[in-house]
Amino acid sequence: MKVIALLSFLIAFLFISSSFAADRIRIGYSGLSPATAMLWVTQEGKLFERNGLNPEVLFLRNNLGQSAMIAGEIDMCSYSASLLAPARVQGADLVMIVSFQQKLNYRLVVRPEIRTLAELKGKVLGVTRYGTVNDATMRLLLNKLGVDPERDVRLIQVGDSAPVVATSLIAGKTFDGALLQPPYYNKAVEAGMRVFANMEEMDIPFQQAGLNTTQKYIAKNPDMVRRVVKSIVEGVQLIRANPAVSKRAIARYMKIKDEKVLEDSYQQLKATAEVKPYPSAEGFKTILDELAKKLPAARSANPADFMDARFIQELDKSGYIDSLYK
């Protein structure tokens, strides 16, 4: 039965692809980290084109991608669920269709003299920008540690990307610690900083980056969405099968020249890219629980309303995803 389902899916898909050859689609991304690399590898491997799409992939800093998508200036955008959630709670027509990363692999990296919670309190901690996943995750971690992010420390905005934050921390700028992912925390530790807390060991469900769009766009263009999701799923397989293409994409988009940093980034991507990248309702719930402290309407929000997994589910139930690994 699974073979029949898979053949039926592929025949239907091939018909759709041939009917809508080389359709233009505008996809934004807001982050410069391995979490976004599922999109880059898909682009680098020309998988969108193989599925009848002509993609325009654009870098839009911070919340510009979300704003552009709501305005209809782009069709989809990769960014964090912690940015999508408050907008959706307040009425924005947004859903996540593919998860890029759910594992919290951040480390709180601080100056070497900071060793206890008492010594952490009163310090200045850097985040990229307020409202980003870096900011939301920092607040989540501090609350888990018993540190009030509003009273016990001071959070400041440092820059638009993790490399800027890491470089500023190492250079001894105006803050004492930051939340960093591989490969950036490695660089900070090599420069003499120390890991104060490792979120990877805390097993907190959290939806990080994903590919997002509007329900309006899905309703008008379901077959376009279907082909994008299929391309991304094939991109995950390419990440595992072809390290050279994956590293080339990471190096180009993140402008990495150091081979060790590039290898670390690739291994990070490989470890976090889910074969079946369903968005996580449990991960959204964590975000909504934190958000409710500032936005009471989040308390009654249903995490399932923040995602549309039907296209991943189609691929999964047809057996297509499993077939990529046989």
What local confidence, expressed as pLDDT, does residue 269 receive?
92
What local confidence, expressed as pLDDT, does residue 18 receive?
47
**8 A C-beta contact, residue 4 and residue 209:** no
Domain of 61, in residue numbers: 2-102+206-323
**8 A C-beta contact, residue 107 and residue 150:** no
Domain identity same for 214 and 319:
yes
What local confidence, expressed as pLDDT, does residue 23 receive?
95
Domain identity same for 96 and 179:
no
Domain identity same for 136 and 150:
yes
Which residues, including other chains, have CB under 8 Å from residue 286's CB and lie 6 or more apart? Answer: 140, 204, 205, 206, 207
The CATH number of whichever domain residue 229 belongs to comes to 3.40.190.10
Q: Residue 45 pLDDT > 90, yes or no?
A: yes
Domain identity same for 156 and 249:
no
Domain identity same for 213 and 66:
yes
Q: Is the dihedral of CA 13, 234, 99, 276 positive or negative?
A: positive
> Which of 201, 221, 243 finishes a domain?
201
Q: How many domains does the chain have?
A: 2
Residue 20: which pLDDT band, with cuts at 50, 70 and 90?
very low
Domain identity same for 216 and 313:
yes
Domain identity same for 210 and 69:
yes
Lowest mean pLDDT among 93-107, 156-170, 246-260: 156-170
What local confidence, expressed as pLDDT, does residue 162 receive?
79
Domain identity same for 84 and 168:
no
**Chain CA centroid to CA 48, Å:** 19
Domain identity same for 120 and 92:
no
Q: Residue 22 pLDDT > 80, yes or no?
A: no
- In angstroms, the Cα distances linking 137 to 58, 133, 234, 265, 295 are 25, 6, 29, 20, 17
**Chain CA centroid to CA 221, Å:** 23
